[in-house]
Structure 1
Amino acid sequence: MKKTIKTLKFSVAFLFVFSSFIACDKDFAIVESDVLGEQNSNFKTDSISFQIAAYNKKLDSLQINGLSSYLLGVYNDPAYGQTIASIITQITPSIYSPDFGDNPVIDSVVLTIPYFNRATGTDENGNPTYTLDSIYGKIPKEAIKPFQLTIYQNNYFLRTFDPNTSLDQKQKYYSKADGSINTTDNFALNGSSVINFDDQKGALVYSNSSFTPSNDAIKTSVGVAPDKVTTLSTPALREKLDIAFWKTTILDKEDDAVLSNPSNFSNYFRGLYFKAETIGGTGNMILLNLATNANITIYYSKDSSVAGEKTQSTYTLNFTENILNTFINNYSSVPLQNGNKTTGDEKLYLKGAEGSMAVVDLFSGTNTLEDFLNTYRIPLGNNEYKKDRYGNYILRRLINEAQLIIYEDDSMLTYGVDDNGDDYHEYDRIYAYDIKNNKQLIDYDYDPTGNTTTPYNSVFFHLGQRQTDDASVSKYKIHLTEHLNNILLRDSTNTKIGLVLSTNVNRINSAKILNSADEVTSIPATSLLTPRGTILYGTNSTVPNNRKMKLKIFFTEPK
């Protein structure tokens, strides 16, 4: 299977390179071959490595609502330390002003939140089997360590709109995970004040002192034998909740105004607080899909039109967009801090869940943007460059390919292996983005290898994949060809690139940083959706040359 995947990758990459040549040929035709030199027909190819600077950026006060999915649980990163993630969410009824019928009696209340999973086949009974993509840490099911899960009613009102801005501005909530107040409660910032959700806990809704996710299919049975019908659905966090609480909170309010419209309900029932805690310092971390088929369903019986009989019905409460993730971080092993923008740092720390990122300045120190332009364009003086009659810059060198080559710190080979010999970081990806415009790089849009089925194999020409050679050296290659050509041909000023760790490069939406004091004002939200971290070699002079991050450019120029 692995050989097949590699062959497919090579074919797609070859197609991409081939199509690039076609595109170049088309460009040359448009400008009548005046782009590269004047009356030159003989060319040579070569490569050069550029001096760059890469430095650390400590992350805090990150937007934690409006995410595509949410973390829950405990993760112990071997290099950094511990992260605990909890969730606060509003819920909304599927129907307002409900009619529960005569003499309604709750049979059960079921919470369902699907896991991200993939079907892998069938078991000996013909039932479907699944693997969980939701769980972090590549370990066998029997080795997954449980965590304590408690669900409370949340009494803090989550606003939809920010009262300090114009009416159409959504309220943003930001992380506060540094433990400066305490390391047991879950905090957030609303832009002007600190919220302690543990001070806003209401009634206890559910408690499990040893929660472990399962990849088993969910079995649901309706009716009694011989008419009993059992259906199977994909794995999920599926638990029965306290009946008495939901009777008092929902069914007994049938004719009350609190169930009559969204505004009344959101003020009456302000949501749920999913609190995760460690068991003896250990646990597991899962990624939950709250956007699809996640709900609380009240199953109840009511009087039938036939005397002495009951009919069954349901009332559903859905999870809304007003959901946020909170983090408690104890990064005891690696203290995170901002780096040296001039010389670059020796080590680069990429850590998710309010951790750290790296900034790459492509033109730093003696390698200035002006030097780059003078090398590839034909200078006329006074920051002017020669153009053809169509207004295109005439180049003395044509960039064929540009690679940002990044080496992983050698210690990660030790940090990244668990007791079972599995590599935690085998499927890690590095996501590169344009920090000026807070969006993906232009090379991302040009990459034809994107797919939504297997994120690890998505956009692998531009963003690359983690590679480990025979000498146990792990590295990444980020292709920046179009990014540099944008600077060279179109006077783009996007000369700095942000690097974050990602487990799903398909997620390209941004998360804002509260009151940022430098050029990094947002990060890719995908960085928040992984608790993991990695350590890379930077560009400081103390880094060995065979490990130093470099920008390598392959070019063509006239002989």
Structure 2
Amino acid sequence: MKKIGRLTLLLLGVVLITISCEDDFAEAGSDLVNNNNFNALLYDASQLEVATKPLVKMQSNSLNSYSLGFYTDQVYGNYSASILTQLRLQNPDPGFGAYPELDSVVLSIPYYSKPISQDETGTQYKLDSIYGNVPINLELYRSNYFLRSEDPENDYAPQAYYSNQRDLFESYLDAQPFDTIVNFQPSAAEVRFRKVNSRGEFDTIVASPRTRIKLPLQYFKELIFDKEGQPELLSNSNFQNFFRGLYIKPVNTLETPITALSLLNLRSEEAKISLYFNTSDVQDPSDEELQQKEYELYFGSNIVNVFNTEDQTIPTGNEIYLKGGQGSMATIDLFTDPAELETLRASEWLINEANLTFYVDENQISEDHNQPQRLFVYDIKNNKVLQDYTFDISANDNNPLKSRLIHLGRLDKDNNGKRFYKLKLTSYVSDIINKDSTNTRLGLTVSNNVNIFNPLKAEVEGEENIEEGSQIEVIPSPILLTPQSTVLYGPDAPEANRLKLNIYYTEPN
């Protein structure tokens, strides 16, 4: 019985220790410094440098979403976003029957949305990544610029197109748009439309929010139906050389700057142009002989976002200026004093936590400013995320807003109501101090989805004198997909708001 009692106590102790360890693990990154198990000390005197880097151009043809419209920023000014895309045939060399008659042509592009409730009237949705609620016009042009998939001047690597090529692309447009969409404005209402089923009959489809706009019949009759059996429709490559691109350009009909920007899911199979037509094998068919059909044009593999940033400015100063779109990022250099770093490496500290806390400049960023909830940091030299990102146990693929909260903390407020972002770099700093890892430059950007890195080629200002191999070559793609911005205090700010590298450590016994 005594042995059983001791065994029970031992098992109970193991359980309690396990629970305690799990609690400590769950709390790591929140109140680790105050945990009595560590008794950590704070070192915050490390020297660091931060610099704002305006973005000159970014690769914008390898995105999963595309911006369209206008955006006005109280700090950075205004810009607009247009889209150039190839179209792709549903199937090459299509046949439309002996006597086809085009009935309607509909452009359909789904919005990003999520259902929030459901009742007898249907499903209610909330739109995501829609900024502003001002109606705008859209002009649709035929482009005569050929978008290549491979770059013959770069050993036939995948062709890169950039956000600053607007003037080039617009110089290849037809003189007049083939259609103008008036008062375009996204709606959160679910949509109902007809779709031809396999029996040639129309079914009523209920779908998530999307734009559905009728396009001119005669234009697409000449573009598609009149080319049946001709070389232009024999293959997608032939068609994309014949109709080289569709350019969608927003038009502000007001005299003042506006915000009316939409993030569109052009990579979805639901993004398309549908041609509805009737056909038969006889010239004057009866209702029974008439067949209802549908032919679709999808958005092609080459889609490019271009921006007009003529009215946008990136301020200069000691603050850190971060802006989405073709805006700005920042670079961070830690341990800029080599002697200090050698002293830290000789200390043999156990690094419990290391973080950078960025305070918002409340004088420039008001409470109603459309500020990003998340920032993103990455390794510039190696063009990859940090180890802290990879090992963050809070990763949530289904909810980016609540994902990787240990490493990339959300916008928060301290006890005095001051807004801040806390980014934890514990593994990164620990490896530099204790494993002699290379102290590389870090890149800092805004982000609308921290689950995505997807590095894209970029050119930024002020990199000319940076050592080769440490220059910025790529940026995370989400910066291109959000217009949001912020202004943060840097390492030269007053003490209460100063950016510091806070290192919490335990000294060796």
TM-score, length of structure 2 as denominator length: 0.85
Against the structure 1 CA distance between its residues 558 and 110, is the aligned structure 2 distance closer, same or farther, given a 3 Å change threshold?
A: same
Query: Does 1:284 pair with 2:236?
Result: no
Cα offset for 1:51?
2.5
Which runs of 5 or more structure 1 residues have no equivalent in the other structure?
Answer: 1-13, 22-41, 138-143, 178-185, 188-194, 338-344, 379-395, 418-422
What RMSD, in angstroms, separates the aligned Cα atoms of the two structures?
A: 2.5
Aligned match of 2:164 = 176
Aligned match of 2:192 = 219
Question: Does the CA-based 8 Å contact 2:314-2:321 persist in structure 1?
Answer: no
Query: Does 1:160 pair with 2:149?
Result: yes
Aligned match of 1:544 = 494
Question: Does the CA-based 8 Å contact 2:361-2:489 persist in structure 1?
Answer: yes
Q: C-alpha distance in 2, partners of 1:506/1:173?
A: 24
Question: Does the CA-based 8 Å contact 1:363-1:495 persist in structure 2?
Answer: no
SS of the aligned residue for 1:117 comes to: strand
Aligned match of 2:3 = none
SS of the aligned residue for 1:447 comes to: coil
Q: Percent identity?
A: 37
Cα offset for 1:65?
1.2
Q: Match of 1:210, as an amino acid?
A: N
Aligned match of 2:215 = 241
Q: C-alpha distance in 2, partners of 1:352/1:361?
A: 22
Q: Match of 1:544, as an amino acid?
A: P
- Identify which of 273, 278, 282 aligns with 1:296: 273
Aligned match of 2:205 = 231
Q: How does 1:360-439 map to 2 (within 5 A)?
A: 360-364=332-336, 367-368=337-338, 370-377=339-346, 396-414=348-366, 416-417=367-368, 424-425=370-371, 427-439=372-384
Q: Deviation per CA, 1:77-131: give whole Å up to 9, x if none.
A: 12211110010000110100111111111111111111111101125x3300100
Q: How does 1:431-450 map to 2 (within 5 A)?
A: 431-450=376-395
SS of the aligned residue for 2:57 comes to: coil
Aligned match of 2:437 = 492
Q: C-alpha distance in 1, partners of 2:179/2:376?
A: 37
Which runs of 5 or more structure 2 residues have no equivalent in the other structure?
Answer: 1-20, 29-36
Matched residues, number: 463
Q: Match of 1:374, as an amino acid?
A: T
Cα offset for 1:326?
0.6
Q: C-alpha distance in 2, partners of 1:250/1:405?
A: 57
Aligned match of 1:45 = 40
Cα offset for 1:534?
0.9
SS of the aligned residue for 2:478 comes to: helix
Q: C-alpha distance in 1, partners of 2:472/2:215?
A: 43
- Identify which of 61, 77, 94 aligns with 2:73: 77
Question: Does the CA-based 8 Å contact 1:336-1:355 persist in structure 2?
Answer: no
- Identify which of 193, 196, 201 aligns with 2:174: 201
Cα offset for 1:17?
5.5
Q: C-alpha distance in 2, partners of 1:16/1:271?
A: 57
Cα offset for 1:264?
1.0
Q: Deviation per CA, 1:270-319: give whole Å up to 9, x if none.
A: 11000012232324101011111211111111006895221111111111
Q: C-alpha distance in 2, partners of 1:328/1:156?
A: 18
Cα offset for 1:531?
1.4
SS of the aligned residue for 1:176 comes to: coil
Q: Match of 2:40, as an amino acid?
A: T
Q: Deviation per CA, 1:419-440: give whole Å up to 9, x if none.
A: xxxx522x52111111111221
Against the structure 1 CA distance between its residues 95 and 278, is the aligned structure 2 distance closer, same or farther, given a 3 Å change threshold?
A: same
TM-score, length of structure 1 as denominator length: 0.78
Query: Does 1:458 pair with 2:465?
Result: no
Q: Match of 1:110, as an amino acid?
A: V
SS of the aligned residue for 1:145 comes to: coil
